[in-house]
Amino acid sequence: MQSRVSICGVDTAGLPKLTQKENEELMVRLKAGDRAAREKFIVGNMRLVLSLVKRFWAKNAHADDVFQAGCVGLIKAIENFDLSFNVKFSTYAVPMIMGEMKRYLRDGNSLRVSRSIRDTAYRILKVRESIEERDEEATIEKIAKEMEVQEREVVYCLDAISDPVSIYEPVYNKSGDTLQLLDQLCDETQSDEVWTERVALRDAILRLTDREQKILRLRYFEGKTQTEISAEVGISQAQVSRLEKNALQSLKREIS
């Protein structure tokens, strides 16, 4: 966001800078119904919106959308500002602009996160920014210590405001070949080695006798005791124990 030159088609480098006196004069005129003064005042205060957009650099949000939300807040501030407030317009407008930006980020997220968690997350981002301004590495440990909270709370809150990423999101592109996030995901429980072992185990089980297969199924898949199995199969518990031991030894020889 910080490196953007054009946002929503607006050349941010060319935005006018208004003095405090110009702001006050334009405010009086626009409150009197001068539409030209109103337009000039809005454009002249877009730099204020832009400065607040940069606070959300850690969010995976489009700068254009956040800027538009900020401009809505700016216009609301203009409409509600009263000359009798006896405060600078920027002082009055900043909370309203920030409120619109936060509302956009909150409502635009596909996952609903509680307000308390979001507030904590925004405080974490502010603390992190403060630490980095001191030319220090903003580690989770430092942030947690400065905020006097548990490290796991810092991690949890930051994860909560992270936007979901599509598994088809391109993460690498070289020589025209795009590597998607999906290509980097894997299930360690379903590796080639594990799959091969399962196939070998299945084939080894099929080579056992029907009685041995039944005993292993009852023992390890249904969780029955040897005594329960002996009653079901119609043999002694000692025979069940012996058949189970022989079957396991056979499987071990087959797959080792």
Cα torsion at 97, 98, 101, 102 (round to 10°)?
Answer: -150
**Model pLDDT, residue 110:** 55
Q: Answer yes or no: same fold for 1-108 and 189-255.
A: no
Closest CA to 247 of 255, 236, 232: 255
Task: Just give the CATH number of 189-255.
Answer: 1.10.10.10
Give the residue extent of every domain in the chain: 1-108, 111-173, 189-255
Overall fold of domain 111-173? Arc Repressor Mutant, subunit A (1.10.10)
Other Cβ atoms within 10 Å of 25 Cβ, number: 14
- Residue 49 is given by DSSP the state H
CATH-assigned architecture of domain 1-108:
Up-down Bundle (1.20)
Q: What is the pLDDT along the chain (256 residues), one digit of tens a residue?
A: 444 456 666 666 778 888 889 988 999 999 999 999 999 999 889 888 888 887 765 454 567 788 888 899 999 999 999 888 788 898 889 888 988 888 877 666 555 667 788 788 888 988 988 888 888 888 999 999 999 989 989 888 888 777 666 666 666 655 556 666 666 666 666 666 667 778 888 888 999 999 999 999 999 888 889 999 999 989 999 999 999 999 999 988 888 7
**Model pLDDT, residue 4:** 47
What pTM did the predictor assign? 0.43
Q: How far apart (Å, rounded) are the C-alpha atoms in residues 225 and 86?
A: 84
